C-alpha cells in the first residue's frame, strides 16, 4: 500500500561533479549539474553551471535559452531520485505534469559561465514496499545569486518490468525501421533557432498546427535511445510553436504549464496546436490519432534585448558553421560552446 514518507539526512552529501548516469545522459558534456547537498525534511540544494553558448540551447537577444533552464531542472529529477530516494538505475521516471516561470531580466548572459543554485523541496513522497512510487518537486533557481525563476513537477517511478507492461509492444526493437521520415523543417528563424537541424516542427495545411519532427540522430534531444518522444522534445515543440505563432524577433517564452496525458509514439504523426487565450498566453495541445497526449499553456512575451554591453561575441547563425568565415572549433569550445557530433531522449525529458 502506498504511503507518504519523509526521508531525512543528518550529513550533507557533496560530489565534485555529477556523473552522467545520475542525470540520465550518455554524453558527459551535456551534464549541467555539478554537485548537490541533501538536507533534512526532503530539502536539497543542487548546483550547476551554464555555458555562455550551447549548440542547441542557444542564447537569444543576449539572454539564456529558457529551455536551458528547463533542462537544468529536469536533470535534478533523476539525480535526486537516485541519490536521495534510492531509485535503482534502470527504473523509468515518467512525468505527470511540469510547470516553470522565469524572469527575463535575470536571464542575461554574463561575462563568464553562470553559477546556478537550485533550492529544491520534495513533497508528497510516496513509496511502496520501500521503493519510490511518485513525488512532487519544487525548485527555486538563482543564477549568480539573482533569483531567475521556479519550476514544479510531479512524476512517477516504474520498475523495468512495470514499464514494459505499460508500454506493451512499443519498445526499442525495430524502432528505427518504424519511425516516421522527417518532414521538411520550418525555417529556423521562425521558431527562434539558428540551425535547421534544431527545428522540431514542420508546416501543415493549418496556420495554427504543425507536425512534430523527431530526429533520432539529434545529439541533444535524443542523447540515448528511447521508445517514445522524450518530454524535452515536447516542451521544445511547444516553445517553437509559440514562436511560430508570435513572430517577434524579441519574443521569449517565459512560462509553461503542461500535463502529460499519454505517450507520444515515434511511429505515428504527431500534431502540435496552439491558440491564443490572452495577449501573452497560448493554449497548447499535442495529439496523435489515438488521442491527446499533452495539454498546457505557454506564456510568450516581447522582451527587448538588454542595453548593457555583455561582451558576447557574434550571435549570428554563421558563427556555428565550419566555414572559412566561422571561428575554429577550438575557439568555439574555449568560448563555452557545447558542440558534439549527433548521437542518438530520456523518459523524464
Give the relative orientation of helices 231-245 and 66-85 as an angle to the nearest 10 degrees: 160
CA nearest to 46, candidates 127, 134, 140, 130: 140
What is the grid cell recorded at 134?
Answer: 511518485
Determine contact, residues 235/259, Cβ cutoff 8 Å: no
- Check residue 173 and give its pLDDT: 79
- Check residue 15 and give its pLDDT: 35
CA nearest to 125, candidates 138, 142, 143: 138
Determine contact, residues 104/250, Cβ cutoff 8 Å: no
Q: Which residues pair with 136 in a beta bridge?
A: 123, 154
Output the pTM of the full model.
0.85
Residue 75 CB coordination number (10 Å)? 26
In angstroms, the CA 51 to CA 64 distance is 9
What is the grid cell recorded at 172?
Answer: 526499442
- Check residue 309 and give its pLDDT: 52
Which ranges of the chain does DSSP label H, i.e. alpha helix? 66-85, 160-167, 175-178, 231-245, 329-334
Q: What are phi and psi of 137, to 5 degrees?
A: -135, 145
- Check residue 169 and give its pLDDT: 82
141 by Cβ neighbours in 10 Å (0-12 / 13-18 / 19+) ranks as buried
Residue whose grid cell is 548516469: 21
In angstroms, the CA 167 to CA 343 distance is 24
Q: Please report which helix (H) or strand (E) contains residue 300, including its range.
A: strand 291-302
Residue 28 CB coordination number (10 Å)? 12
- Check residue 14 and give its pLDDT: 37
Residue ranges in the chain modelled with pLDDT below 50: 1-15, 310-311, 313-347, 349
Task: List C-alpha distances in Å: 93 to 75, 89, 151, 176, 305.
Answer: 12, 11, 17, 23, 37
Look at strands 53-54 and 337-338 and give their pairing.
parallel
Q: Who's near 334: CB < 8 A, 6+ residues apart?
A: none
- Check residue 38 and give its pLDDT: 94
What is the grid cell recorded at 237?
Answer: 515543440
Q: Which residues pair with 43 in a beta bridge?
A: 121
What is the grid cell recorded at 90?
Answer: 534502470
- Check residue 308 and give its pLDDT: 56
- Check residue 43 and give its pLDDT: 97
- Check residue 304 and give its pLDDT: 87
Q: Please report which helix (H) or strand (E) contains residue 100, including its range.
A: strand 92-102
Q: Which residues pair with 284 in a beta bridge?
A: 274, 296
Q: What are phi and psi of 139, to 5 degrees?
A: -125, 130
In angstroms, the CA 17 to CA 107 distance is 24
CA nearest to 82, candidates 40, 38, 116, 139: 38
Amino acid at each position: 500500500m502506498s504511503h507518504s514518507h519523509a526521508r531525512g539526512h543528518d550529513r550533507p552529501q557533496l560530489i565534485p561533479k555529477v556523473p552522467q548516469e545520475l542525470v540520465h545522459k550518455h554524453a558527459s558534456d551535456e551534464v549541467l549539474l555539478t554537485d548537490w547537498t541533501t538536507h533534512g525534511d526532503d530539502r536539497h540544494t543542487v548546483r550547476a553551471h551554464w555555458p555562455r553558448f550551447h549548440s542547441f540551447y542557444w542564447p537569444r537577444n543576449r539572454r539564456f535559452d529558457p529551455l536551458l533552464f528547463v533542462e537544468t531542472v529536469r536533470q535534478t529529477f533523476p539525480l535526486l531520485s537516485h541519490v536521495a530516494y534510492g531509485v535503482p538505475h534502470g527504473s523509468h521516471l515518467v512525468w505527470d505534469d511540469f510547470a516553470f516561470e522565469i524572469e527575463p531580466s535575470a536571464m542575461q548572459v554574463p561575462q563568464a559561465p553562470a553559477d546556478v543554485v537550485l533550492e529544491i523541496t520534495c513533497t508528497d513522497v510516496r513509496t511502496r514496499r520501500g521503493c519510490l512510487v511518485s513525488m512532487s518537486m519544487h525548485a527555486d533557481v538563482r543564477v549568480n545569486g539573482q533569483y531567475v525563476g521556479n519550476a514544479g513537477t510531479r512524476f512517477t517511478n516504474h520498475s523495468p518490468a512495470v514499464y514494459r507492461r505499460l508500454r506493451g509492444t512499443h519498445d526499442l526493437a525495430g524502432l528505427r525501421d518504424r519511425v516516421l521520415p522527417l518532414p521538411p523543417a520550418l525555417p529556423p528563424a521562425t521558431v527562434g533557432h539558428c540551425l535547421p537541424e534544431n527545428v522540431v516542427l514542420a508546416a501543415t495545411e493549418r496556420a495554427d498546427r504543425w507536425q512534430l519532427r523527431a530526429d533520432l540522430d539529434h545529439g541533444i534531444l535524443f542523447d540515448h535511445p528511447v521508445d517514445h518522444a522524450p518530454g524535452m522534445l515536447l516542451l521544445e515543440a511547444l516553445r517553437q510553436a509559440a514562436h511560430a505563432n508570435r513572430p517577434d524577433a524579441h519574443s521569449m517564452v517565459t512560462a509553461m504549464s503542461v500535463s502529460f496525458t499519454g505517450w507520444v509514439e515515434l511511429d505515428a504523426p504527431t500534431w502540435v496546436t496552439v491558440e491564443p487565450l490572452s495577449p501573452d498566453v497560448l493554449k497548447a495541445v499535442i495529439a496523435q490519432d489515438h488521442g491527446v497526449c499533452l495539454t498546457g499553456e505557454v506564456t510568450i512575451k516581447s522582451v527587448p534585448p538588454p542595453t548593457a554591453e555583455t561582451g558576447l561575441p557574434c550571435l549570428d547563425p554563421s558563427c556555428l558553421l565550419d566555414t572559412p568565415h566561422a571561428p575554429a572549433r577550438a575557439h568555439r569550445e574555449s568560448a563555452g560552446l557545447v558542440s558534439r557530433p549527433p548521437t542518438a531522449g530520456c523518459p523524464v525529458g
